[in-house]
Chain A
Amino acid sequence: MLLVVTHTAAARTTLRNVCRSHEETVVQRFGRAALLAATEWGAFVACRLRAKHGTAVQVEQTEPFNEFRLVDEEVREAARAYERRETASTPYTKFAAGQRYPDPETMRGEEL
């Protein structure tokens, strides 16, 4: 899908109007952003917004996130375990230290 984020009031207004008149293309609307369907028409709408507002319109192409396809089991398990931690105030680094969980620095260095 196409994520359109507007960065000025004018761009936001245009986005709102566009969303109103092209509802079928809008997958989801947020305050100053919208997810457009990954169709040529969605792209057309995004291009129009860009043509009108230039850099005040940011467009990103998104893909649904499937952790089972992209992420190693140990990372998923670490996330689950951390969410089940007993003390809410324990930071992850401390939680993972000395355990079998991956440390943040390693994870930061690993591209998906």
Chain B
Amino acid sequence: MSDEGDRADADTDHLVITVDSERYAGESVDLREHTSAPTPQQLRTRLPREAAWRARPEFDAGTWFSTVTAEPPPVRRLAAIVARSRGVTTPVDDRLETLDAALAGTAAVDLDDGHGEQRLPPRQTVDSGDSRAVDDGDVASLDDPAASADTDSAASADTGHAASADTDHAELTAARRQTARVGDSVEKLRERVAALRGELQATKAADGETEAASASLREAVKSLTEAEADRIAADQRLSRQSRRVRERRSALRRRLRARDERRNRAREARGHLGEAVYDELSAAMEAVERLTERGPASSGERPAAFEGDRVAAHLAAIAVADTAEPVVVGVEAFTSAAEAAELLGTPVVLLH
């Protein structure tokens, strides 16, 4: 949420930019004539940032509201962020917060019927599912900060999960192998004990010398007892390992379910938010069109129905959003920086 006080901040209101030791200063700056002007991204890092409004993570706007390039972000996402910046809330916000907390591993919540009291594991158990591929149909461009942030965290989370899954797999495999091996030797020893017992009885029946045979039998019985103890230990170890893996699987499943639900709720929220500000956004698009001749052929009834110049929509979104961050405009649209600043309501740097 923008604080009116930030707009008066001398740092954001009065820009001072030095390019090749030439100094540009003012409420807005036109660098279009400068031959070796920096790229929008380079320039962006040199301008003051306004940390005043913070959207929810899934609406994380990155530099969307401080840089306009020929590759504008998706209109649906822009509209949702604009609404967030204006303090619009949705009926699913509480649920989103709960899910976010759960996915961040900071809260025990009811994500599953019947297993509500179980605490979710820390973040590294995210599955390798490609969240971008199954996103709600928004085409996530490569410079989409929200999408790439998602992918990054999913990727690092995968590594964590893969590591613990590998360990689990190795340990469980070793436990199964051990159980099988010990079980085998128990079977063999049982057979041996039975055979020796038979021999001993035969020797006894024949009134022969039993000393050697009973010594062998005693020895075999002792080995069998030891092997049986080993087998019990191995079985216990295996069932302990199996239980642990099962718990991890359940946690993973709950997490996946939470992630799916979060995606669905976020989509609902975006729809709600987009509609809340879309009239205003459409009006701003018309204003952009009047001033720059970059117009939406049709802004449509809803963000999803938008068909038109996405750069115009991007400019309109910045104009309507409650932000006073300086904006670097790297597209052909305005005749002067002052005109752009007037329309966008923020300090502007024009680049070629």
Binding site for B on A (CB under 8 A): 16, 19-20, 23, 26-29, 64, 66-69
Could you tell me if A28 and B250 are in contact, using CB atoms closer than 8 angstroms?
Answer: yes
Q: Does B139 contact A (CB under 8 A)?
A: no
Could you tell me if A20 and B114 are in contact, using CB atoms closer than 8 angstroms?
Answer: yes
Interface locus among B36-44, B158-166, B173-181: B173-181
Minimum CB–CB distance for A100 against chain B, Å: 22
Docked Cα-Cα span, A27 to B180, in Å, equals 24
Report chain A residues within 8 Å CB of B211.
none
A-B contact count (CB 8 A): 31
Q: Does B246 contact A (CB under 8 A)?
A: yes
Q: Mark out the residues of chain B between 14 and 58 whose CB falls within 8 Å of any chain A CB in the assembled complex.
A: none
Binding site for A on B (CB under 8 A): 113-115, 176-177, 179-181, 183-184, 238, 242, 246, 249-250
Report chain B residues within 8 Å CB of A66.
176, 179-180, 238
Report chain B residues within 8 Å CB of A69.
176, 179-180, 183-184
Could you tell me if B177 and A68 are in contact, using CB atoms closer than 8 angstroms?
Answer: yes
Could you tell me if B180 and A68 are in contact, using CB atoms closer than 8 angstroms?
Answer: yes
Could you tell me if B176 and A68 are in contact, using CB atoms closer than 8 angstroms?
Answer: yes
Docked Cα-Cα span, A94 to B137, in Å, equals 40
Taking A66-B179, A68-B180 as known contacts, 10 extra A-B pairs with beta carbons closer than 8 A to each other, sorted by chain A number, are A19-B114, A26-B114, A27-B246, A28-B246, A66-B180, A66-B238, A68-B177, A68-B181, A69-B179, A69-B183
- Nearest-neighbor residue (CB-CB) of B247 within chain A: A28
Q: Which of A23, A64, A67, A68 contacts B114 (CB 8 A)?
A: A23
- Nearest-neighbor residue (CB-CB) of B184 within chain A: A69
Docked Cα-Cα span, A66 to B174, in Å, equals 11
Could you tell me if A68 and B246 are in contact, using CB atoms closer than 8 angstroms?
Answer: no
Could you tell me if A29 and B114 are in contact, using CB atoms closer than 8 angstroms?
Answer: yes
Report chain B residues within 8 Å CB of A27.
246
Report chain A residues within 8 Å CB of B238.
64, 66
Minimum CB–CB distance for A30 against chain B, Å: 9
Report chain B residues within 8 Å CB of A64.
238, 242
Docked Cα-Cα span, A14 to B184, in Å, equals 42
Report chain A residues within 8 Å CB of B176.
66-69
Minimum CB–CB distance for A79 against chain B, Å: 13
Minimum CB–CB distance for B261 against chain A, Å: 15
28 contacts across the A-B interface (CB closer than 8 A): A16-B113, A20-B113, A20-B114, A23-B114, A23-B115, A26-B114, A27-B246, A28-B246, A28-B249, A29-B114, A29-B115, A64-B238, A64-B242, A66-B176, A66-B179, A66-B180, A66-B238, A67-B176, A68-B176, A68-B177, A68-B179, A68-B180, A68-B181, A69-B176, A69-B179, A69-B180, A69-B183, A69-B184
